[in-house]
Structure 1
C-alpha cells in the first residue's frame, strides 16, 4: 500500500452510486496530467484506505483523497479534485473561500442522500480499458 501511495493522490469513491461513478468518469476524462488514481470503496484497496482513516467502508459519508499519509474528505476532497484537474475546472476551487462549517454540512447532506437523489447501480462501475491502470 505504501508504494501505491507514492504514485499520487487516490480518490476513494462509491462505485455503486450513480453520482459518484459519474464524477469518477469525469475525473478520468478531464485529468489530462493523469494525476489522480481511483479506488472503489467496494474493492479491497478502497475499503482498506477507508479503514486506515477510521471510516467504515460499508457506511461512508464522504469520498476521500489519500495522498501518502494525508487524507482529505468532505468538501475539501471535492474541491481538491477540481483544483487538480487544471483549467477551467480549477476555478471551482474558489469555493474554498466559503467556510468549511457551511460547505461540509451541505456536502454531507448530499452524500447521505446520494442514492435517493441519483440512484444506485446494480453492479459497480468498471473503467474503460484505457483507464484501467488508474483504477486500483
Structure 2
C-alpha cells in the first residue's frame, strides 16, 4: 500500500484526469496558483488512488474530487471553495460562495460530478501536465 504524506503547506487536489472539466480545472489551478500552494494528483495514478482509498473513496468510481490537507480531506463544494480560496486574486474572491449554504451547494456539485462525462466529455487519455507543471504533480 502506498503511503502519501501531505503537509498543510501543500494541500493536494485529487481529480479525475480523464474528465475534460476536471482536467481543465487542474490546468486552471496550475496557472492561477502562482505561489505553488497546491499539488495535484490524478485518481488514475498511484498517489491519487491511495489518497482516495485513505479517505474511503473508490478511485474507480469517485463521487467527488478531494483536497487533502494533512489528515483532513475536503469533499464536494467545500473542496472547490478551498481551491478557489487558495488561488491568486481575483479568483480567490469566488470563495465568497461559501456564504451559500452547503445544503444547496453540495447537491449542485454532486449533480455536476455525476454527469461530468456526459456534459463535458471524457478524454481518450489522461491529462498530462507541461514540463513546467510536472514538479507540482504527484
Q: Which runs of 5+ in 1 are unaligned?
A: none
Q: Distance in 2 between matches of 1:56 and 1:99?
A: 27
Aligned to 1:5: 6
Quick check: which one's helix share is greater? 1
TM-score norm. by structure 1 comes to 0.96
Runs (4 or more) in structure 1 with deviation over 4 Å come to none
Of 74, 85, 88, the residue aligned with 1:86 is 88
Aligned counterparts of 2:128 and 2:38: Cα–Cα separation in 1: 16
Q: What corresponds to 2:35 in structure 1?
A: 33
How far does residue 86 in structure 1 lie from its aligned partner after superposition? 2.6
Aligned length: 135
1:97 and 1:86 map into 2 onto residues whose CA distance is 20
**Counterpart mapping for 1:1-136 below 5 A:** 1-2=3-4, 4-6=5-7, 7-136=9-138
Distance 1:91 1:29 in 2: 16
Return 5+ residue gaps in structure 2 as ranges.
none
Normalized against structure 2, the TM-score is what? Answer: 0.95
